[in-house]
Amino acid sequence: MLVGIAKLAAESERLESKRKVEYFELPARTILNRTKPGMPFRWSINPYRGCEFGCRYCYARYTHEFMELDAREFEDKIYAKAHTAELLRRELRKVAPDDGIAIGTATDPYQPAERRFGRTRAILEVFSHQRGRHLSITTKSDLVTRDLALLAEIKRSNALSVNMTITTLHTELARAIEVRAPRAERPLAAVAKLADAGISVGVFAHPVMPLITGWLERLDRLAAAAKKAGASYFGGGLLFLMPSAQKVFFPFLEERFPHLVKRYKERFEKNAYLRGPYREMIRDRVRTIRQRHGLSSSPADYQPELWLGEQLELFAS
Ligand code: SF4
């Protein structure tokens, strides 16, 4: 247990890092990506490729390999998609109003690049002129509250929910695993602000990491903090480790949790997804915790009053 200056140092917010990050503008032909059948949303939007937060487990590292880059460069070479608003305006014409659209499924839409390049904000501006859309945003960053007024505007005429991802309240552990992501107090403060503004907000403890963050007591404390902040739903999906993510996660385990290396390799080297009783146990654990804290599993969908008059018009557009 850290005390005194050691504790203060561990909890300090990073002011600046000397690590070299490069930003690029990526020409994009589309901004809306159709998801595979069975997903809870039909379309996804990721305004950036690469993510500076650099979570060791990040499954999206493979998207850098598509660009002939090393998965380890995922947090150092960040690509902002070009003309996001124009593309979205055009592509939304082909999207049915009740199709779910999820922003931030592969990279964080409020990662540091967003402060400078504003691609997520440009997308939200487009949605602020839409009616009857089903939109969700997933982020680890309290930068989402910069757009509070815009989100409130979107919410007036669309179903909107914000999923804040927090894997652990343990500051030191979070810093080791999610190297540059905001510590839990900040997304929790964002939950409170969003809830105060009447925006449907929940906390996802994704990914639950076996024998690291998956302990009952840790998840329970996280759910309690989420509820206290104003979250209405809570979830926790189990870690999966694709080969590109293993390249980063296994060296991290060797450094921080050497006693877990053998077990993780045995389970994940053959299959990125964990099967069997542990999976069921985590599912039951999260369900029990939800019930204990009066949290639901997903945002309650709702019908803003504005839809009633405008839905038919929307279908015709
Ligand atoms: S915040 Fe999300 S997208 Fe970014 S590195 Fe972490 S897991 Fe990947």
**pLDDT tens by residue, the chain, 317 residues:** 666 766 666 666 766 656 789 999 999 999 999 998 888 899 999 999 999 999 999 999 988 988 888 888 999 999 999 999 999 999 999 999 889 999 999 999 999 999 999 999 999 999 999 999 999 999 999 999 999 999 999 999 999 999 999 999 999 999 999 999 999 999 999 999 999 999 999 999 999 999 999 999 999 999 999 999 999 999 999 999 999 999 999 999 999 999 999 999 999 998 999 888 999 999 999 999 999 999 999 997 544 333 333 333 333 32
pLDDT of 250: 97
Task: Tell me the pTM.
Answer: 0.89
Q: Which pLDDT score is estimated for 309?
A: 35
Position 264, amino acid: Y
The predicted pLDDT at position 307 comes to: 39
Centroid of ligand 1 to alpha carbon of 124 (angstroms): 20
The per-residue pLDDT for 18 is: 62
| Residue in this structure with the two tokens 């009633």, named with its chain if needed | 308
Ligand 1 mean position to 206 CA, how many Å? 11
- Check if 268 has its Cβ closer than 6 Å to any atom of ligand 1: no
| Closest to 165 measured CA to CA, from 100, 106, 120, 249 | 106
**Which atom of ligand 1 is closest in space to residue 61's alpha carbon?**
8
State whether the beta carbon of 140 lies less than 6 angstroms from ligand 1: yes
Helix (H) or strand (E) holding 101: strand 100-103
The residue whose CA is least distant from atom 6 of ligand 1 is 55
How does 205-230 read in b/e, with b if 16+ C-beta sit within 10 Å? bbbbbbebbbeeebbbebbbbbbebb
pLDDT of residue 248: 94
Give the burial class of 41: count Cβ atoms within 10 A of its Cβ; 0-12 exposed, 13-18 middle, 19 or more buried: middle
In this prediction, residue 275 carries a pLDDT of 83
CA distance 58 to 74: 9
